[in-house]
Amino acid sequence: MTDQSPDLVGDVPRSRIVIASMVGTTVEFYDFYIYATAAVSVFPFLFFPKGNPTTALLASLATFGLAFVARPIGSVLFGHFGDRIGRKATLVGSLLTMGIATFAIGLLPTYHQVGLLAPALLAILRFAQGLALGGEWSGAALLAVETAKPGRRAWAAMWPQLGAPFGFLLANSVFLGLLIWLGHSNAKPDLSGAFLTWGWRIPFLISAVMVAIGLYVRLKLTETPVFARAVENGERVKTPAAQVFRNNWRQLILGTFVMLSTYTIFYIVTTWALSYGTGKRPPDGTGLGFNYIDFLKMQLIAVLFFAATIPIAGQLADRWGRRRTLLTVTAAIMAYGGLFAVLLTPGHASHGSVLAFLIIGMTLMGFTFGPMSAVLPELFPTNVRYTGSGISYNSASILGAAVAPFIATWLSTTYGVGWVGVYLLSAAALTFVALLIMRETRDTPLDSIEPVPVSP
């Protein structure tokens, strides 16, 4: 059967492609986010218990950031196979790697059981998670983009982006349910209580079920027509990483900074905000003193706005163009950075102001994140697209995500919460400059092995 029906790509229904691109990223982001949540609520007590609470939290956030160091390595590793062997097989491999690492975290002994071996094993498995996610996003984006209808690439590419809010909703909902069920208080953690004894392991272990579902769907896919044509024309290269660094280094740098503010805003509004919002109030601390469960509920409300704005962003990027859409959103993120002191200063912050902070942040996140799975692949030619888009996306994760919770924690503790907003504003300003330099990519042909121009 040929690809004459608008609902088919070859013999594969578009609905199956949508599910495969979205379910995989949902699983991957769920696995990633349960670690982020545990890095604040579990690991400081069970894997980094020595020293004062702030030191333990920073040590836990450091292992959280370790995965972002691994992600560019994963983008090179999985990108090599994605550009050499194909998108489908590589996506299966990345999902398996993430699933095994996450399940194993749920089986780890704690510091009180095996000493320093516990945080060492945790760091290794976190690194493996980073490797897997380094190959996941670009593969899912290419699966969507390279099978999209003409003029609808940003709309098609927004489906894997929905995996981020869906994974976040699942991860936080599971943790919230466990906290309520087991009666755990993050303000007064009970090391002998059910949650810190065994309950925290459940979110990691049940990820195996979702991985199995994701594998089932992905194994029923065929290769994308764009990659299949590249193979037929003999356009594959032996070393995609070397090729992309030699011929497409400008696109790598540009893509990295285009993505920078997206990562920075997300991990400030999620990981850092959770630790700051539930931290002790002055004079004993520098946080807001919110109940952990109450703060999780507010984050779950806010992430609904994240999910709702991603499809809107996809439509706008197809209608207005990627560059115009992202310039507008990035300017709004810069303005949002100026609201931190107003909405989050201890003594003045309320449930309403914090919820507004989270909703605005997540709304902006949806608008900036939605078009990215179209923009970054469109910057690179077919034979290095998996590698190039993955390296840009994951290099930005080091600059904008790996250090964001750590820097934000240090800034809010040392200089006050307003400086966290200045930090976000600065990251967004760099993205704004990159977008001014970037050429519009909406009409860039995907069947090309020539370097893609980067400036208008």
Q: What angle do CA 105, 79, 126 make, to 5 degrees?
A: 15
Instruction: Report which of 21, 28, 178, 164 is spatially closest to residue 100, judged by C-alpha positions.
Output: 28
Percent above pLDDT 90 for the chain: 51
Asked whether residue 376 carries a pLDDT value surpassing 70, the answer given is yes
Specify the pLDDT at position 11.
Answer: 64
Instruction: Report which of 248, 179, 269 is spatially closest to residue 388, judged by C-alpha positions.
Output: 248
What 3-state class would DSSP assign to 321? coil
Asked whether residue 117 carries a pLDDT value surpassing 50, the answer given is yes
Specify the pLDDT at position 335.
Answer: 98
Q: What is the average pLDDT across 172-184?
A: 87
Rounded to whole angstroms, how far apart are CA atoms 102 and 128? Answer: 9
Specify the pLDDT at position 57.
Answer: 65
Specify the pLDDT at position 190.
Answer: 82
Rounded to whole angstroms, how far apart are CA atoms 338 and 449? Answer: 43
In terms of Cβ atoms closer than 10 Å to its own Cβ (0-12, 13-18, 19+), residue 115 is exposed
On average, the pLDDT of the chain sits at 88
- 8-437 domain in CATH 1.20.1250.20? yes
Q: What is the pLDDT of residues 293-352, one digit of tens each?
A: 899 899 999 999 999 999 999 999 999 999 999 999 999 999 999 999 999 999 889 999
Asked whether residue 1 carries a pLDDT value surpassing 50, the answer given is no
pLDDT confidence band for 451 (50 / 70 / 90): low
Instruction: Report which of 439, 403, 446, 436 is spatially closest to residue 68, judged by C-alpha positions.
Output: 403
Q: What is the average pLDDT across 247-266?
A: 95
Half-sphere exposure of 238 (CA within 13 A, CB side): 0
Under DSSP, the state recorded for 417 is T
Residue with tokens 């193979």, as numbered in its chain: 231
Specify the pLDDT at position 357.
Answer: 97
pLDDT confidence band for 3 (50 / 70 / 90): very low
Sequence-separated (6 or more) residues with CB below 8 Å from residue 91: 20, 24, 82, 135, 136, 139, 140, 143, 218
Domain boundaries, the chain: 8-437
pLDDT confidence band for 32 (50 / 70 / 90): confident
Q: What is the pLDDT of residues 51-61, one digit of tens each?
A: 656 666 667 76
Q: What is the average pLDDT across 248-264?
A: 96
Hey, which of 103-112, 236-245, 429-438 has the most confident mean pLDDT? 429-438
Hey, which of 189-203, 282-296, 422-436 has the most confident mean pLDDT? 422-436
Give the DSSP H/E element, type plus range, for residue 8. Answer: strand 8-9
Q: What is the average pLDDT across 394-406?
A: 86
Specify the pLDDT at position 296.
Answer: 87
Q: What is the pLDDT of residues 79-96, one digit of tens each?
A: 999 999 998 889 899 989
Rounded to whole angstroms, how far apart are CA atoms 256 and 398? Answer: 10
Handedness of CA 295, 298, 302, 304 (dihedral sign): positive
Under DSSP, the state recorded for 320 is T
Specify the pLDDT at position 395.
Answer: 92
Q: Between these two residues, 10 and 292, which has the higher pLDDT value?
A: 292
Q: How far is CA 13 from CA 2, 3, 148, 149, 318, in A?
A: 12, 10, 12, 13, 22
Q: What is the average pLDDT across 176-192?
A: 82
Specify the pLDDT at position 274.
Answer: 87
Specify the pLDDT at position 4.
Answer: 47
371, amino acid identity: P
Rounded to whole angstroms, how far apart are CA atoms 348 and 439? Answer: 44
**What are the structure tokens assigned to 379, written together?**
């910057």
Question: How much is the pTM?
Answer: 0.87
How distant is the alpha carbon of residue 444 from its chain centre?
Answer: 25
Q: Between these two residues, 282 and 165, which has the higher pLDDT value?
A: 165
Specify the pLDDT at position 363.
Answer: 98
